Amino acid sequence: MPKRCFGCALFLLASGLPALAQAPEGPMAPRAGIPVQQTPPEVLAKITARVTLVSTPVTVRDSGGSMIHDLDQQDFVVTDNGVPQKITHFDVGGDPLSLVVVVETSSRVDPMLPQLRKLGSIFTEQVMGPEAEAAVLAFDDSVHRLQGFTHSHDSLSAVFAGLKTGESGQRLFDAMSDAVEMLSGRRKPSAETPVPGRRVLLVISEALDSGSETKLGEVLRQAQLQNITIFSLGLSTIRGELQSKPRENAPVPIAPPGISTIPGPPGTVNVPPAGGPGGSGVDLIALAQVIVQQGKSSETKRALELAAVATGGAYYSSFKGRSMEAALDEIGGELHSQYMISYSPPRSDDGNDFGYHKISVVLVPDQAAGKKLRSRPGYYLPAPAK
């Protein structure tokens, strides 16, 4: 699998520079006796100025958990590393959507395949809506592009209906990386559309990865830079195994469903993967910040939750009595009820603004009472390659 470049997400924007068509390869040697023309300082200043559009989805709920849709732009206060920002774009669920669905098709989800095949109509009606475009990737021990970007609900439903399981591998992070790369090329900002619309990655998978070349931190770093929101529907092979009909002459399991019979590292105990009962109380926001800063992976059993937390999306599990259809319907409801807030923080020329930026979105005091707000916690701005 080819190496991916995750440091090339930001572009240097310089107005007034002439376009160079058919530029010669390599530097041009100066003619003898002719002084070399120096680049004017004002042009250098324009080249080094980094302009970044930062967008954050914001979900606001009341004390009972219901989403609130009637707030206005002036009700929100946004800071970037503690510096107040001017909101340049504000919308509630109406921006055009580009989505990529990443669905696990490893042999582990074979018991859930009939349910997965039924998700097409719910995805197209409740998540996409009438105007969105979507593509579908599947993964097992490799990544498969099942459908390129299309507006056709029928084509996407057919892809879901035709899902087949393959090998036992789970290259989840590689599949997420490919999806982020696909989304990065959609709805790019331009003079006519400075705010390019929403980019959304929907992952339908177990929270497990094995064999990926890409680290979770790299995926989330790039998703943040490209303003991609990740929603995830966590599959539970435990539930699938419990619900599946026993096969004739099937071997009798020697451990409960979801418990590996392969010994783990010394001092560890085999437990069911994420999606089962119970919680760990881990500060996912802090953990997401660390793995984005370091560009590394963490414990994969929380990967889907981390991805959602890091990008302002949401994680829904299909384990605790919630069907896949119900979870997908909830994802669609939240996606189309989020506020989308964008701003363009000024960038310094001395490079002091590189590194991790914390985003804070709060409500003004007279609107904050009885409301709970969720947004993306920040983004990592890499220094340019030397």
d(CA 49, CA 233): 39
Does any domain span residue 275?
A: no
Does any domain span residue 259?
A: no
Q: Cα–Cα–Cα angle for 62, 96, 13, nearest 5°? A: 110
pLDDT at residue 110 in the model: 94
pLDDT at residue 228 in the model: 96
Domain boundary among 336, 355, 371: 336
d(CA 142, CA 180): 16
* Same domain? 189 vs 233: yes
d(CA 380, CA 220): 9
* Same domain? 202 vs 155: yes
The CATH number that applies at residue 309 is: 3.40.50.410
Does any domain span residue 9?
A: no
**pLDDT per residue as tens digits for the range 305-332:** 999 999 999 999 887 667 899 999 999 9
Average pLDDT of adjacent 10-residue blocks, the chain of 386 residues: 44 39 43 46 40 88 93 97 94 90 96 95 92 96 97 97 94 97 84 76 94 94 95 76 42 39 38 38 84 79 92 87 88 94 83 87 96 95 77
* Same domain? 117 vs 158: yes
d(CA 229, CA 282): 21
Strand pairing partners for 311? none
Beta-carbon count within 10 A of 319 CB: 17
d(CA 31, CA 327): 68
Nearest to 229 by CA among 142, 312, 105: 312
pLDDT at residue 194 in the model: 63
Contact 144, 100 (CB under 8 A): no
Distances in Å between the alpha carbon of 208 and those of 109, 252, 270? 12, 25, 14
Does any domain span residue 145?
A: yes
Does any domain span residue 230?
A: yes
* Same domain? 148 vs 232: yes
Does any domain span residue 37?
A: no
Domain count, the chain: 2
In the structure encoding, which two tokens stand for residue 179, read together?
A: 């999806």
* Same domain? 230 vs 309: yes
Contact 1, 214 (CB under 8 A): no
d(CA 56, CA 65): 20
* Same domain? 214 vs 227: yes
d(CA 60, CA 336): 12
* Same domain? 58 vs 132: no
Nearest to 136 by CA among 150, 126, 125: 150
* Same domain? 66 vs 163: no
Does any domain span residue 231?
A: yes
* Same domain? 230 vs 349: no
* Same domain? 68 vs 162: no
* Same domain? 69 vs 169: no
Task: Give me the domain span that covers residue 60.
Answer: 54-90+342-381
In the structure encoding, which two tokens stand for residue 361, read together?
A: 């979105």
Contact 180, 223 (CB under 8 A): yes
Contact 146, 137 (CB under 8 A): yes
d(CA 61, CA 266): 44
Contact 198, 138 (CB under 8 A): no
Residues 6 or more apart from 249 whose CB is under 8 A from it? none
* Same domain? 223 vs 83: no
Does any domain span residue 15?
A: no
